[in-house]
Structures are given as C-alpha cells and as structure tokens.
Amino acid sequence: MKDRTRLKKKAWLGVMLLLLISMLVSACSGNSGNGNQEESASPPAAETTEPSANASPEGIDTSEPVTLKMVLLGSKPTDTDDVYAEVNKILKEKINATIELRYLDWNEYNQKYPLLFAANEDFDLIFASSWAFYQPTARKDGFLELTEDMLKTYAPATWAQQDPLGWEQAKVDGKIYMVPSDYFESGHGMVILRGDLREKYNLPEVKSQADFVKFLSTVAKNEKGMTAFGGPSTSLNGVALPIMFNDLERVFVHGSAPLVYDMKSEHPKLYNYLDDSKYIEKLNTLYDMAQQGIWPKDAIVSKTDWAAAFKEGKTAAHHGNLLTLAATMEAITLAHPEWKPEVIDLVPDAKRIRAPFHSNGIGIHATSKHPERALMALDLLRHDKELFDLTTYGIKGKHWEPVGDGKYRSLPGSTGYPPDGACPWGWRTQGMYRQLEGAAGDLLASTYDKWKKNNIVDLKLATFVLDDANIKNELAALANVQKTYLLPIYHGLVKPEDGIPEVQEKLKQAGIDKVQAEMQKQIDAFVQSNP
C-alpha cells in the first residue's frame, strides 16, 4: 500500500528505553484497577461463514480471510469469548475478518505494554491512550502512521464524523498514530459508597471531602471485618488519590514530575506542588486517614482489585470517573439493592476539564500484517450499530436489552459482560452511545449536563504534546523518586513533614529543575504559536 509508512524494525534498540517508559505512566481515569485475571486470548469464531462478496462495498478486495489480533486493557469479563464470537460472525460477513482478543490486566500492563513493542510481538490493533504509552510508543515507531488517504480509504465513516479536535490531539510531531475516541467524558474523580452503612450510623448525606472522611472513619471504627476504602493508587501518575485534590483545579503536564499549572490560565506557569501549602494539607489528611485504619497498612503493595472488592461487599467505598461509577451503581442495584449505592461529586463547584479525545483510542502496530483490514474493522466497531452495541454492552437479551433507540437496560447476565466494562473505550463514539435506563443513567446524563454548563474548562494546552527527547532520562529518574519516596507519603506510611524534605532533595538530584525549564519553554512556545 503506497500510503503505508516504511516499517522500522528497531525492537532490539527499544527494550531498555521502553522499560524505562513503563515507569512513567499509570492508569487513571477511571479506567484502572488491580485485578488478578490472567491474560488470555479470545479465539475467533469458526470461519465457516463465507463473506458476502469478494470485495467490500467500497471496492476494496477482501477475498483473503484474515485474523486480526487485538490487545485491550483490563480484566477479561467471563462472557467475552461469547460476545466476540458474535462480533466475528458479523466481521466475517462484512470484511472477511475475525478478531483474536488478548487482555493485559491492570496489574501487568505497565510492564507488559511496552514489551509488546520492544519484542515486536505479533498483533494488529491495540488500545492506545495519552495515559497509556501513546506518545512514547509513537516516537519509538511502535505505531503505524495513519495518513489522511489511508483513513479516507479504509475508515471513511470515522474520517467523516470524527471531531477534528481529536485528530489534532492525536498528533505526535505532526503525525497521526491512533484513531481517537469521539465521545464527551471527563475523568474528574468521584466516589461511590454504601448508602445503607451511612444510614446505619445516622450520618448525613456525603457532600464534601470532609463528609467522606467522616463516613470512612466511622466504618473503619465500627465495621470489623470490612475494609473502609482501598486507599490511594499503588502507582503515582500525578497524584495517587485524585478525589482529594480535585478542588485545587490544577493540571499535570506529565505524571512523572510533580509539576502543575492552573487549569484556567491562558499563560500556564508550572510549579512544584510540594511547595504548595494546600497540597501539604491534603497529604496531612491522608496521613490521618491511614492512622485511623481506613485502608490496609499494606495497601501500597496490594494487588487487590478494589473495584471488584466494593462490588463484593468487602469495602464501603470506591472511587473513579463518572462513567465507571454509574455502571458500578447499576451493577450493585441489580445484585444488592439493599446496599443503596450513592455516587457523589465531593467538590461539585470545582472546575474540571473534558477528557481529551486521545485519552482513549486504538493504534495499529507498525508491523501489522493487515493494517488496511484493521482500519476497516475499527471503522465498523465505531459506526456499525450492531457491532458497537455488542462490544459495548454484550449480547442483546443476555446482558442487556434496548429501551427505545437511545437507552438500554442491564440484565442480570451483565455480570458476565459489564456494560462499557470490556475495554471498548478505544472506539467510543458519541452518536452511538446509549444511555442506561434508570437512576444510574439519569445520574450520568444530568451530571454531564451540569458539568458542561457550569464546570468544564477548555484547557489552553488541550492539544499540547510534550517532546521529552531532551528530558527522557530525567523523567524516568523523577518517576522513580516519586514511587520510592512520595508514594509512601500518600499511603500514610511517612509523615509529610518528615518525608517531603527528602522527596524535594531527591527530586532536585533527579533533575526536576531541568525538566521544569524544558516543559515551560515548550509551553511558552506553544502558547505563542496558538494565541
């Protein structure tokens, strides 16, 4: 294919650098957890269905059957193979292709994702994200460059309907290496808690961070055998517990460096948040929470899937983004309505940002054997209603059922394939997404409406992409400092007043001044070029 970029086989050069990259990024968004599901492949459906024709409607030759290997993130739901058997029947008929699926679990993707590229493993499509190695992998020639001609030819619906901002955000050094999602969302952290326990102890409705801490303290003191809360994340990408810092309205350029700027600023200026008394106050609160036993003492090394633990009644609260928590609320309402789950924004008046489109997307491996068919399959996953519904909600009548054209109802079988829970995030598409019927769906819709009207701030740096070529080693060193010295402070293992001076010294030794200067230089140049 003339548009296809000349493939560069540099796996042997990338191993060590990509191992360093794996330290820089951790899951966020609401898309993370620490599960124990083994990675496994979903076999394609038996290829007995003949394609409807030897060429697609666009005149592209699809006479050769192909198997597309796709890598997604998260724990593999139990019914995934059944769902993708149905997906493959449709893909076989439409483009003579099937998908073989593999998952990288949350507790392994930080290490294994970069190694897939370093070892030049055989796969075609992979979940890609600004929080999951997209930019560094693109700069290491891990992804195939997607040219305008390629996209127009093999993913015409996507090219025609994608918000242009998504393409801009997906560019790395002026080139596109992923197909970004096309769906409004915000990664703003919220909490979900057991309303029955709140009522049991005659506590008022939780409306603030202080209310939330009081709820957790009460549970920790009185509910023996239950963990109140899983605690901060075991990895540090910016801050380890966003729900406690959302009201400060600051944004990170890169999770490996504790450098932030005011999200409302038209001329962003970076500073070290460990110099900010407001952040230190938050860290002191986390220390107090740890001393009260709100999370386990060994939480910093825990491999527990805390989202699953909450659903199983082992914890009293969990945190995440609205989309994830609405689905959790629905699942618990179906299985344990007596728990009375409550989803709460702890800082309802704070400003927040919309998630960039490239926070979820799909990239094509630079050495894919079938890049054209991979793009065709992705175009269908995004814009074929039956395929979108299958991959997002599961099998109709088993996992979900439609309610009119724009809503859906979860069925008890959804525990085997949770709605939006099997990592279809890379092809989220605004016009295709259904609203969940009932309280959880209404909460999602009304909250997003409120945020869009009153809270959302469009960042001046929405399309800014850091070029880390001159500070790659320093970023790796800073990430290690944060993991070694700062993460224990978040978990309450070290008093902030005792630990922060040492953290600051180690950050300086690791090159934080050089990193801050380089980042600020690039930010200033970007602002000047984008007035």
Quote the pLDDT of residue 58. 60
How many other CB atoms are found less than 10 A from the CB of residue 15? 13
CA 118/CA 366 separation, integer angstroms: 12
What is d(CA 389, CA 403) in angstroms, rounded to the nearest whole number? 13
Closest CA to 30 of 129, 143, 133: 129
Residues with Cβ within 8 Å of residue 225, at least 6 apart in sequence: none
**CA proximity to 183, closest of 393, 452, 433, 391:** 433
Under a CB-based contact definition with an 8 Å cutoff, are residues 302 and 311 in contact?
no
**Structural tokens at position 344:** 């709460």
Write down the pLDDT at residue 13.
34
Domains and CATH numbers, the chain: 57-184+356-442 (3.40.190.10), 189-354+460-529 (3.40.190.10)
Instruction: For residue 499, report the phi and psi dihedrals to the nearest 5 degrees.
Output: -90, -30
Strand partners, 95: none
Q: How far apart are CA 482 and CA 502, in angstroms?
A: 11
Q: Nearest-CA neighbor of 412 among 306, 333, 315? A: 333
Q: Of 232, 234, 227, 233, give the one whose Cα is nearest residue 312.
A: 227
Backbone angles phi, psi at 18, to 5 degrees: -70, -30
* The pLDDT value given to residue 43: 32
What 3-state DSSP class applies to 410? strand
Two tokens, residue 405: 């054209």
Nearest CA to 45 out of 10, 92, 3 is that of: 92
User: Could you give the CA distance from residue 249 to residue 263 in angstroms, rounded to a whole number?
Assistant: 6
Dihedral of the alpha carbons of 520, 522, 524, 527, in degrees to the nearest 10: -140
Query: DSSP string of 3-66?
Result: TSPPP---HHHHHHHHHHHTTT----TTT-----PPP-EEPPPPTTSPPS-SB-TTS-B--S-E
Closest CA to 319 of 409, 455, 228: 228
Calculate helix-pair angle for 277-291, 496-510, nearest 10 degrees. 130
Residue 108: per-residue pLDDT: 87
Amino acid 205: pLDDT: 97
Residue 283 to residue 495: CA distance in whole angstroms: 9
Question: What's phi and psi for 468, nearest 5 deg?
Answer: -95, 15
* The amino acid at 114: P
- Cα 428 to Cα 382: distance, rounded to the nearest angstrom: 7
User: pTM for the complete prediction?
Assistant: 0.75
For residues 428 and 392, give the distance between their C-alpha atoms in angstroms, rounded to a whole number: 9
The pLDDT of residue 404 is 87
Q: Any alpha helices (H) in 175-266, and if so which ranges?
A: 195-200, 209-222
CB 283 within 8 A of CB 214: no
Which strand (E) or helix (H) includes residue 393?
A: helix 385-393
Residues lower than pLDDT 70 in the chain: 1-58
Residue written as token pair 């891990």: 142
Contacts of 311 (CB under 8 A, 6+ apart): 328, 331, 332, 335
